[in-house]
Structure 1
């Protein structure tokens, strides 16, 4: 790793242009030199929390490559800073960059619990698992302050509605009491992301996420309390973590995970440029090798949008990855199964209390 030219604590190392905006903000070399001579910082690198007020909170997921029908996001943007994150592109719709803005301008939906409650009380709504979150991590650092995710879990419990969670943050254990109550009714499934077993890799790939030991502890504590856990071994990046598949699967299984899922990294939209800039600055010795192996999985390009292929990849390297995944499932998850969540209770709780008739 080369740390001499990196922005500390961030994944992206630049603000890429927003394709929807006419004007581009550029930090010029003469400005940087002026700051250096004056002993000033050209960028304070601070995180900014911005309140927004959407009219709805539950989103229908129409992509055939995503294993969910509905999702909701309590926050937009994510301070975790995972450099490969597919959600970066969505920040451009809000008028920001998919680069550093995605990590430093966090949009906060304070009305999310109220909007969720209105959705679950709707006569037209039929219970179907809603996933927190389909886009950005619902337990990112902002949750320490705003506690919106916890309030949403309280709504799900009140209306006995199934909910899935995807996170790579140990903060989820703060709400263990709520998760246990939801699990008493078969209403909760948790997906914990574990991308590597090496802390050095984690620190540069996912700079503000929980450490690997903390994530494994999270899987273990949830599992010991009977809460079903699926491990997200994603994305698999050739040349960075692809050699860890068997060790990752074995380790999460030993800590109680009932299943695991994976994707092969794809770098669509602005993410291709962000990742390319990042790897040349942090891993210059293997940058070309990694980029070329990613391209080999996606028909010679970093930018792959083909449904059914984009998350699975193709070619020799992708085939090797799929072979290791099959071996891992056979060796470490043979007699394990992630349960389906309960959708039968919600109809009797639409009014917020158990119907007598």
Structure 2
């Protein structure tokens, strides 16, 4: 019989379970309540969960999308999976396509793409390449902890800086300050924009929501450092979670404005596919007193379901609560002078890299 007992949280991890991908036909892993009660007595405590990194060799590195509610049509993901462990991450289901769990596997069994910069250079060198901003960090964070050793995102930014190609970065890590030399160089030509995600200012909440992401204070300090270097930077209050973080909107806007952010954006929490049961398990472990209230509000926003996959409404939600959030964001933006437009990035400065070792003379 399936246990209804809440799963205990795992220190340093977001998901409390390793939910199996049900869409691929694999059997779901179900924890038996009687076994859970006796597991420690029989087996002892489980070994610590370690992060592993496997090498992936894709044939191309630029991912394309035609979504009408996203402001870019191409992106690069240097890594698959993300050690930040954000329980709300809408990218978790991508691990299911590899018969891995969107739960603990997503944040502990990672994939790196060391050929990314080489592949990017080859794609930018194609005669029919059309320039438009490339986004990094829209699926999994390019500046997650393993970037420290692998440096793949840095290599990608080096190629984009060299070719004077426009770039958009979204991250919740101050690790991107290591690349501030390149970002400042690109910003001087209006080639880069950065969004720093701040979900909460409460370190206790952050430790459970996004356990391996940098402290909120470090992200705010990154905004200040980027702005001081001339890099246009906005704060991204994402996601806003009803009855968990929504009360912090004005406070986040105020400290982000003080740090120099030129504007603010937000996204209401989305729970696609396997993210919904993982989030429910997280609620049961950390907020049992309000779990039902949170999910009732989520379903009210999403037309009675855990998730709304439809374009436009998936980002904005439906009903009174999303309308109130929009009003609060607009009012706070006006109050703090964060209602400016993000500077449009230039595409006319692009200089294609050499193709197959040939000089520019032989391109025509």
TM-score, L = length of structure 2: 0.92
Distance 2:129 2:299 in 1: 42
1:135 offset after TM fit, Å? 0.6
1:281 offset after TM fit, Å? 0.6
Distance 1:68 1:319 in 2: 25
Q: How does 1:99-178 map to 2 (within 5 A)?
A: 99-178=103-182
1:241 to 227, 241, 245: 245
**8 A Cα contact 2:192 2:345, kept in partner:** yes
Identify which range, 214-223 or 182-191, moves more after superposition: 182-191
**8 A Cα contact 2:238 2:266, kept in partner:** yes
1:255 to 252, 259, 265: 259
Distance 1:335 1:272 in 2: 33
1:333 offset after TM fit, Å? 2.8
Distance 1:355 1:331 in 2: 50
Which 5+ residue runs of structure 1 have no aligned equivalent? none
User: Is 1:337 matched up with 2:335?
Assistant: no
Instruction: Give the 3-state SS of the residue equivalent to 2:60 in structure 1.
Output: coil
**8 A Cα contact 2:135 2:168, kept in partner:** yes
1:190 to 187, 194, 210: 194
Identify which range, 268-277 or 41-50, moves more after superposition: 41-50
**8 A Cα contact 1:234 1:264, kept in partner:** yes
Q: Deviations over 1:253-280 (max 9, x none)?
A: 1111111111111211001100001001
Distance 1:293 1:51 in 2: 41
1:36 offset after TM fit, Å? 2.2
Cα 1:92–1:187 change in 2 (3 A) is: same
Q: What is aligned with 2:9?
A: 6
Distance 1:180 1:169 in 2: 17
1:28 offset after TM fit, Å? 5.2
1:67 offset after TM fit, Å? 2.1
Distance 2:296 2:34 in 1: 35
1:4 offset after TM fit, Å? 9.3
Cα 1:27–1:300 change in 2 (3 A) is: closer
Distance 2:155 2:43 in 1: 44
User: Is 1:217 matched up with 2:211?
Assistant: no
Which 5+ residue runs of structure 2 have no aligned equivalent? 1-5
Instruction: Give the 3-state SS of the residue equivalent to 2:83 in structure 1.
Output: coil
User: Is 1:264 matched up with 2:268?
Assistant: yes
Distance 1:68 1:247 in 2: 29
1:44 offset after TM fit, Å? 2.6
**8 A Cα contact 1:180 1:225, kept in partner:** yes
Distance 2:104 2:326 in 1: 33
Distance 2:55 2:34 in 1: 34
Q: What is aligned with 1:232?
A: 236
1:60 offset after TM fit, Å? 1.1
